[in-house]
């Protein structure tokens, strides 16, 4: 029997936290004297009531959390946070339909960045800030979950080299979790502050600088401008954002190493090296492609190539140029990046660099195993042999990612008959990126989709953000038994 | 050091076999009194000379064949057979350019069935028969290789449950190989004869009946008519072809069981059951889709759905209807079938049903493993636990298939900027199917492609036919060492 009480208790507690964060946008509503004040007050009140009720009725909960409770809590948190987080959009009238408000909020908390809002520039500042804040919180949530909480509970779904803590655990672990979480918060704050400062210096308004810092560090991609980063024609701003996107797509444990001066340790990390390698490789190819095909401006070609490669690979989703106008091979090259994703332990979505590298290595080693069938050739990562069960898990992850992508594309074509658009929408939502292909390119939005498609894409965002398994185990028959 | 002499000797011997088969179309050239006679005579002569030279210069070969020699022979046979097999097309003038002739021949020997010939109905009968014959020989080659020769040499690349014969082997195994091969030839002949008879009775000319039997059993898909099977508006002919396509996509060891009366053994085979399940499932969905969308004729809808599902799944590639006119979701459903393929040990290409099932099972079991991390949950197939190394191999195969598909699509868009067309062309050639999507649909041909693209697609056909590893190991650095 699942310990539902502890699940409710934790969610109740977290809802009180969400209620608090719902008050933060009030600052901007008051500064700019805009009418969305009340929307946040009402939303915070509703959220508080729900939190208190859950907290009160679960007060007799046994303080034991097993793996299954863990899976359920994580999934429920994202869903319930989105349910309540969509209230300000709805109550302020910024997004009049609930489906749209939920899509926008889920796109926020999952750090996807796909939007249903045709014109964001007419939104009040409080609402714009809330959009950015939920991405920032979602990004934070993923790092703390992936690097502090889940490893402590021995849940390996989101953390490849999870510490193996068997069986149900109690709150004894909390000091260790709290210490790790504190450090992560620290550098997350630090980076956000640093980027805000630099963007402000670079010529953004303070408000825009804050918002874009929040959504950069979360690899979210919501912007306060319809044209996204293309609004600013400033190389400095572009390069600052590129730098912080790269940081956001890096394992935050490594960033902590770097901040504390352990550069050598960080740069000897294999995932980090491959991450930089992939970025360089794709940038060079696309840069040359742009030079040869259309753009004569060398610096602009390089910047566009680098910006879009980093933006897509880290799953941020900002745009400085409409990449759909590139020659087809460059578009498809960029589309293949939809399946890479950030590093493990970063705010980036997608398959994750570590998985991609392990898949490539294992496939390559399989060729060597065929020629030398009696030799034992383990895959090595960071100079250690990777255990078989991790390889199996990574391969199964890839299979699921592929199956989900294909089936979702098929289902999606019921409402969106164009194959490119369907593939793009599914890949961008599953990978938590933002813009897609065809009708959902960088200059389009998702507002005109059928309602069912919006719920479906929101589900894909959740699935991708929680790295499939965390959500999919809930559908496996063994999960609910006993 | 690779034993090149034995490689040359075997290829020389096989070329003499090809020279003999080059004489068979003469029968039809003479019957119809057509001018392609000489083309076959010259081709056979050239082939004989090449065979004799290779045979003569390798007479001192040590009679030892290791795994690496095996991989190399298999790949070389398909390439060299296509080089010589393309001569009649070229010499007769039926296909004036060598690139096209090679593409057509590789498409034949790999049982793909994609064609560069805009109008096949003006070709002389000898050439048409040669097109069908190379498919039939290619199909036979694959079965004998996969079910008799490779298992004996312990080469597991094309046979999932290969007998494990370690180290280099000598010709001592040949009686066992010969016996298995003899049985396979027997039922292959038997089925071809039976289908010829039924198609003839059903109203085809004897010549068309022979040709279509050859290309059905090979799951090849070359037709003597531009409209493929749609030329005949006869339900009987369609159902006969459906039946034999299903047989051709079945493991020929199982077919042998069935022919010798062991029905129970055949129907208890798990791959066979899944094979029939997938066919039924996709047929029902597409049938209902066709009924609801466009076609009011129930029987014709059912027949089209069944025919196209079977044709694509078995990788035959015949068409009775232009499936690109279906509503998008049905087209994409059918396209997803491009990645299934026939059974292991059949003439079908693609990923193979057994691999698809193992992938699905392993992925599903991974979910159970996540909920119960301490339980050992092996994947079972045909009531036996599947060893880990096979699962790893299957997963690596899938990875390679995916990587090859994606990279090839990217490369292909250089010459064919339409994404659907590119994906379709790559998938259909890699899966040895025949028709694709977009500009390479069932009513189009590959003739207008750029030369480089044709060589590239021909390479993909080879890669797919030899199930990737056999060809890819040749590119692994360890292969050529020592």
Burial of A251 (0-12, 13-18, 19+ CB in 10 A): buried
Report which of B138, B18, B156, B41 is spatially closest to residue B88, judged by C-alpha positions: B41
Instruction: Calculate ∠ Cα A23-A25-A30, nearest 5°.
Output: 100
User: For chain A, what percent of residues have pLDDT higher than 90?
Assistant: 61
User: Does residue B78 come out as left (phi exceeding 0), alpha (psi in the -120 to 50 range) or beta?
Assistant: alpha
CB A457 within 8 A of CB A422: no
Q: Do B418 and A328 touch (CB under 8 A)?
A: yes
pLDDT value for A345:
84
pLDDT value for A174:
56
CB A206 within 8 A of CB A200: yes
Please indicate whether residue A182 or residue A227 has the higher confidence score (pLDDT).
A227
Please indicate whether residue B358 or residue A171 has the higher confidence score (pLDDT).
B358
**Facing residue for B67 by CB, picked from A371, A398, A479:** A371
**Facing residue for B328 by CB, picked from A156, A332, A413:** A413
Predicted confidence band at A455 (pLDDT cuts at 50, 70, 90)? very high
Query: Looking at CA atoms only, how far is residue B473 from chain A in angstroms?
Result: 6
CA dihedral (B187, B191, B197, B200) positive or negative: negative
Residue A123 pLDDT more than 80?
yes
Q: Round to whole Å and give the CA distance between B433 and B430.
A: 8
pLDDT value for B95:
94
Per 3-state DSSP, what percentage of chain B is helix, strand, and coil (rounded to 5)?
70, 0, 30
Q: Round to whole Å and give the CA distance between B52 and B45.
A: 11
Closest alpha carbon within chain B to A479: B371
Count of Cβ atoms closer than 10 Å to residue A233 Cβ? 11
Local structure of B135: helix, strand or coil: helix
CB B236 within 8 A of CB B230: no
pLDDT value for B188:
93
ipTM of the complex: 0.80
Mean pLDDT of A117-136: 96
B-chain CB neighbours of A329 within 8 Å are: 410-411, 413-414, 417
Contacts with A373 (C-beta within 8 Å, 6 or more apart), sequence order: B67, B154, B156, B166
pLDDT in tens, A242-264: 999 999 999 888 888 888 888 88
Report which of B20, B111, B73 is spatially closest to residue B347, judged by C-alpha positions: B111
Q: Do B67 and A373 touch (CB under 8 A)?
A: yes
Burial of B308 (0-12, 13-18, 19+ CB in 10 A): buried
Q: Do A67 and B371 touch (CB under 8 A)?
A: yes
Query: Looking at CA atoms only, how far is residue B399 from chain A in angstroms?
Result: 7
**Facing residue for B399 by CB, picked from A359, A414, A419:** A359
Q: Round to whole Å and give the CA distance between B364 and B358.
A: 10
Q: Do B371 and A469 touch (CB under 8 A)?
A: no
Contacts with A1 (C-beta within 8 Å, 6 or more apart), sequence order: A482
pLDDT in tens, A65-83: 777 888 888 899 999 999 9
Residue A160 pLDDT more than 50?
no
Q: Do B374 and A417 touch (CB under 8 A)?
A: no
Closest alpha carbon within chain A to B293: A414
Please indicate whether residue B75 or residue A477 has the higher confidence score (pLDDT).
B75
pLDDT value for B160:
39
Indicate the Cα dihedral angle B216, B217, B221, B227, nearest 10°: -10
pLDDT truncated to tens, each residue of chain B (482 aa)?
788 888 899 899 999 999 999 999 999 999 999 988 999 999 999 999 999 999 888 888 777 777 788 888 889 999 999 999 999 999 999 999 999 999 999 999 999 999 999 999 999 999 999 999 999 999 998 888 777 776 665 554 344 333 333 333 333 445 677 777 888 888 999 999 999 999 999 999 999 999 999 999 999 999 999 999 999 999 999 999 999 999 999 988 888 888 888 888 888 899 999 999 999 999 999 999 999 887 678 999 999 999 999 999 999 999 999 999 999 889 999 999 999 999 988 999 999 999 999 999 988 888 877 777 677 788 888 888 888 878 888 888 888 899 999 999 999 988 888 888 999 999 999 999 999 998 899 989 999 999 999 999 999 999 999 988 888 888 877 778 76
**Facing residue for A333 by CB, picked from B166, B410, B476:** B410
| DSSP assignment letter at B94 | S
Q: Do A406 and B157 touch (CB under 8 A)?
A: no
pLDDT in tens, A355-412: 999 988 988 888 877 777 677 788 888 888 888 878 888 888 888 899 999 999 999 9
Q: Do B417 and A327 touch (CB under 8 A)?
A: yes
Q: Do B373 and A406 touch (CB under 8 A)?
A: no
Contacts with A426 (C-beta within 8 Å, 6 or more apart), sequence order: A405, A408, A409, A412, A457, A460
Q: Out of A327-331, A337-341, A372-376, A389-393, which region has the weakest mean confidence (pLDDT)?
A: A372-376
Residue A321 to residues A228, A324, A435, Cα–Cα distance (Å)? 9, 9, 12
pTM of the entire predicted model: 0.87
pLDDT value for B167:
30
Q: Do A336 and B403 touch (CB under 8 A)?
A: no
**Facing residue for A366 by CB, picked from B359, B392, B479:** B392
Q: Do A392 and B156 touch (CB under 8 A)?
A: no
Burial of B383 (0-12, 13-18, 19+ CB in 10 A): exposed
Contacts with A201 (C-beta within 8 Å, 6 or more apart), sequence order: none
Query: Looking at CA atoms only, how far is residue A291 from chain B in angstroms?
Result: 15
Residue A283 pLDDT more than 90?
yes
């Amino acid at each position: 029997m699942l310990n539902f009480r502890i699940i409710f208790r934790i969610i109740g507690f977290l809802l009180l936290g969400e209620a608090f964060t719902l008050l933060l946008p009030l600052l901007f509503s008051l500064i700019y004297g805009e009418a969305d004040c009340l929307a946040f007050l009402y939303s915070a009140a509703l959220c508080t009531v729900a939190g208190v009720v859950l907290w009160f009725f679960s007060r007799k909960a046994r303080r034991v959390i097993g793996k299954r409770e863990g899976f359920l809590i994580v999934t429920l948190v994202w869903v319930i946070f989105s349910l309540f987080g969509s209230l300000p959009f709805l109550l302020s009238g910024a997004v009049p339909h609930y489906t749209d408000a939920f899509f926008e909020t889920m796109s926020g908390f999952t750090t996807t960045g796909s939007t249903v809002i045709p014109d964001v520039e007419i939104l009040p500042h409080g609402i714009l800030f809330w959009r950015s804040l939920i991405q920032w919180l979602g990004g934070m949530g993923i790092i703390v979950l992936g690097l502090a909480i889940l490893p402590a509970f021995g849940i390996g779904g989101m953390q490849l080299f999870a510490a193996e803590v068997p069986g149900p655990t109690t709150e004894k672990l909390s000091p260790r979790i709290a210490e790790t979480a504190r450090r992560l918060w620290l550098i997350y704050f630090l980076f956000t502050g640093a980027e805000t400062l630099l963007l402000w210096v670079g010529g953004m308004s303070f408000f825009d600088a804050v918002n874009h810092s929040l959504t950069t560090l979360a690899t979210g991609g919501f912007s306060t401008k319809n044209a996204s980063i293309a609004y600013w024609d400033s190389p400095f701003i572009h390069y600052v954002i590129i730098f912080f996107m790269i940081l956001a797509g890096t394992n935050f444990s490594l960033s902590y190493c770097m901040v504390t001066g352990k550069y050598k340790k960080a740069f000897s990390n294999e995932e980090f090296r491959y991450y930089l390698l992939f970025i360089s490789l794709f940038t060079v190819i696309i840069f040359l492609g742009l030079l040869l095909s259309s753009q004569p401006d060398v610096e602009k070609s390089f910047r566009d190539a680098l910006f879009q490669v980093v933006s897509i690979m880290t799953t941020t989703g900002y745009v400085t140029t409409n990449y759909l106008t590139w020659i087809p091979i460059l578009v498809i090259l960029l589309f293949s990046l939809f399946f890479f994703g950030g590093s493990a332990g970063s705010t980036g979505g997608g398959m994750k660099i570590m998985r991609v590298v392990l898949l490539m290595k294992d496939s390559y080693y399989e060729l060597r195993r065929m020629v030398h069938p009696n030799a034992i050739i383990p895959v090595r990562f960071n100079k250690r042999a990777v255990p078989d069960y991790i390889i199996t898990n990574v391969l199964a992850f890839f299979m699921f990612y592929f199956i989900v992508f294909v089936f979702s594309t098929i289902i999606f074509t019921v409402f969106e008959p164009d194959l490119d658009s369907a593939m793009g929408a599914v890949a961008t939502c599953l990978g938590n990126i933002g813009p897609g292909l065809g009708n959902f390119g960088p200059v389009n939005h998702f507002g005109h989709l059928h309602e069912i498609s919006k719920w479906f894409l929101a589900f894909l965002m959740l699935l991708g953000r929680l790295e499939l398994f965390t959500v999919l185990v809930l559908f496996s028959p063994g999960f609910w038994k006993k």
